Amino acid sequence: MDSTDHRFTVNLSILFTELPLLERPAAAAAAGFTAVELWWPWVDSPVPEPSELDALRSALTDAGTRLTGLNFYAGQLPGPDRGALSVPGEESDRFRANIDVAADFAESVGCTALNALYGNRVESASDAEQDALALENLALAAHAADRIGAVLLVEALNAPESPKYPLVSAPKAVEVVDAVNEATGLGNARFLMDLYHLSMNGEDLHRVIDAYAAKTGHVQIADNPGRGAPGTGELDFADLLGRLAKAGYDGWVGLEYKPGDAPSAASFNWLSGTAHGKASS
């Protein structure tokens, strides 16, 4: 695959997880990458101790890796919770408590993309009530992102793996993006186009790219089936990444796949023959 036209970033919440969190940035750098991204690392703590934030910041800086994307608090990831911002009560409160903490940390390491996951549907409130709460919290997150010069990302997951998650198509996620931009007037909400999730939903990826590349703030990839590295499934990433480039997308492409049984560093063989370190800088 010719990857030299794309900037790759490694998701350290799914790759290099055989290592402690603070060792993963250096491992990614040793594998040739200068950019990384993360889900919120402290799944039980939307407001971790300052020393924990300082330690992660130092690990990123010492490794020479740039954090290009960070999730707001979203409960247990990976796991069944799948987000918090639309869930009334404690989870929404935890999300709100995390907003400025996540934004401030992102600013301190030069991160300019913050991902806010919707929550699963709950029976204690109507869908309309959950959606209204989500829009309110997403607007707060958009303002925090704007304060640090970042974009707010809204992601579609897939229905087979997240049946209670309400955003399981590209059009539905983009609808929320548009609603946030209309509510805030900031224009900094963007679609997170995860090609694995969209493929799992059975969407036509060519049509999604052509329709929504202009509203996309970040792309993530994994092959389907299996959520493994490109080449382990049936998706044609040379074609898909080429189509993204043709559609005008020139942002980061996050590697958010499972490495399999081998160490994570061995999962980058599909990039052999390309200057992936250069492409990810």
- The CATH H-level (homologous superfamily) assignment of domain 7-274 is Divalent-metal-dependent TIM barrel enzymes (3.20.20.150)
* 107: annotated active-site residue: no
- Look at the block and give the residue holding tokens 């607007």: 139
Q: What is the reported pLDDT for 120?
A: 95
- Say if residue 257 is exposed, middle or buried (CB neighbours under 10 Å; 0-12, 13-18, 19+): buried
Peptide bond into 225 cis (omega under 30): yes
Q: Is 155 a catalytic residue?
A: yes
CB-based contact 192:218 (threshold 8 Å): yes
pLDDT in the model for residue 228: 97
- Indicate which residue of 37, 155, 161, 182 is catalytic: 155
Q: Is the pLDDT of residue 82 over 70?
A: yes
**pLDDT tens profile 193-250:** 999 999 999 999 999 999 999 999 999 999 999 999 999 999 999 999 999 999 999 9
User: What integer is the mean pLDDT of 24-37?
Assistant: 97
Mind listing the pLDDT tens digit for each residue in 102-118? 999 999 999 999 999 99
Domain layout of the chain by residue ranges: 7-274
Residue 281: pLDDT band by 50, 70, 90 thresholds? Answer: very low
What residues contact residue 39 under an 8 Å CB cut-off, 6+ apart? 11, 13, 71, 74, 77
pTM of the predicted model as reported, rounded to 2 decimal places? 0.94
From start to end of the chain, where are the E strands? 7-11, 35-38, 66-71, 113-115, 151-155, 189-194, 216-221, 252-255
User: Residue 55 has what pLDDT?
Assistant: 98
